[in-house]
Structure 1
Amino acid sequence: MTIRAPILLTFAALFMLSGCVGQAGPVGNSAVPQPVKSVEISRYLGRWYEMARYEAPFQKGCEGVTADYSLRDDGKIAVINSCTKNGKVSTAKGRAKIVDAEDGQPQNAKLKVSFFGPFYGDYWVLDRAEPNSSGQYDWSIVGEPSGRYLWMLTRTANPDDNVRAAIKARVIDMGYDWSLVRQTKHD
């Protein structure tokens, strides 16, 4: 009986947690590709602006979405996500850790991210730009294995039409349903 109690409490907590986050959206890609390029973490750090996304329950109604990544003393990555909803800015702080690549896979392209407790979600950098003249990546496409979540990130709040078109073409080429994409507004 004493062994069952912790297991039941864990399942109860997970059930309640799933209600807080909401139901995931439809599958936009039933054959999610593996990341195609290694990621140099130092080039990935800094501020990103969300260009577009698959609508996620925890982001419903968010505009002006940003993500800031920095290296922590323990080797993990600090994550600060912000969005504006109904005129109010909300912020979520988390941490990410790099998942070791399997033989033949790109290095540092798969991470696990947590915003609360011991619960981690997949964060895969599916593709990214080549480094620019300052050494950073100008855009990245982030997904996870279920095909329900997708984010397109850029270094500028309002990328030009050529960048938008290139990212859209790449997302479609990877098998994602573009009709599920929601453009993010930035002031």
Structure 2
Amino acid sequence: MTFKKLTSQFVLLSAVASLTGCSTAGFKTTQKVDLARFMGPWHVAAGRFTMFEKEVHNAVEAYSYDEKSKTIKIDFSYRKGSTQGPLKKIPQTGEVVEGTNNAHWLVSPLWPFKFDYLIVDLAEDYSWVAVGVPSQKYLWIMFRKNNPVPEDVAPVVSRLNKIGYDTSNLVYVPQDWSN
């Protein structure tokens, strides 16, 4: 698929998604997020992913806060097809929605589109996080450690179920950093 065609599909999908609104009404996020502690790399262990996250291995989202612009730089990288596959990167920017204790962001993979990014649940020690969207269509469960396995994900899924977040149809991301 050509870059132009992929970009066109992304723009169309983004436009449709943006028409669904950005309301988080009716769904709670975690109570408070310390942005300084949240920044850094997170290894994606499982979730329900967008159409751009197919065949991902060794997926990592790395966050850094730009104090001057008050934005969050998001670097999503992964290996396509296998842990030795070609390295792919999807840069994005985010901004915290005021009055949300840093738990609701607007993320932009491509200007001018912005999408809700809800920090649904977060470990007290910041060892794992669950991120979703108001519709619950997408979900990302991430860990600080670099080789999360399904057994690590199970307690997070249990917590999400207790707060009413849909955890059906999860896809697990192979992580192997031994090379």
TM-score range, shorter chain: 0.7 to 0.9
Q: Tell me, in whole angstroms, the C-alpha distance in 1 between the residues paired with 2:74 and 2:112.
A: 15
Q: Which residue of 2 aligns with 1:145?
A: 134
| Aligned match of 2:22 | none
Counterpart of 2:140, as a letter, is W
Gaps of 5+ in 2: 1-6, 18-24
SS of 1:80 mapped into structure 2: strand
List alignment gaps of at least 5 residues for structure 1: 1-12, 24-30, 132-136
Please report how far the alpha carbon of residue 18 of structure 1 lies from its aligned counterpart in structure 2 after TM superposition.
Answer: 2.4
CA RMSD of aligned residues (A): 2.7
**Cα distance in 2 between the residues matched to 1:56 and 1:15:** 13
Q: Is the 8 A contact 1:126 1:142 kept in 2?
A: yes
Aligned partner of residue 146 in structure 1, secondary structure: coil
Bigger-Rg structure (1/2): 1
* Contact 2:45-2:149 within 8 A present in 1 as well: no
Identity of aligned residues (%): 28
Q: Deviations over 1:102-148 (max 9, x none)?
A: xxxx51100001111111111010110103xxxxx111110011110
Q: Quick one: which amino acid aligns to residue 93 of structure 1?
A: P
User: Aligned ranges for residues 35-114 of structure 1 at < 5 Å?
Assistant: 35-72=29-66, 73-86=68-81, 87-101=85-99, 106-114=100-108
- Give yes or no for contact 2:14–2:113 (8 Å, CA) kept in 1: no
Contact 2:39 2:65 in 1 (8 A): yes
Residues paired across the two proteins, number? 159
**What is the SS of the residue equivalent to 1:165?**
helix
Partner SS for 2:157: helix
Using the size of structure 1 for normalisation, the TM-score is 0.75
- Compute the displacement of 1:49 (Å): 0.3
Equivalent-residue separation in structure 1 for 2:168 and 2:138 (angstroms) = 13
Q: Distance in 1 between matches of 2:16 and 2:113?
A: 16
Give SS of 1:64's match.
strand
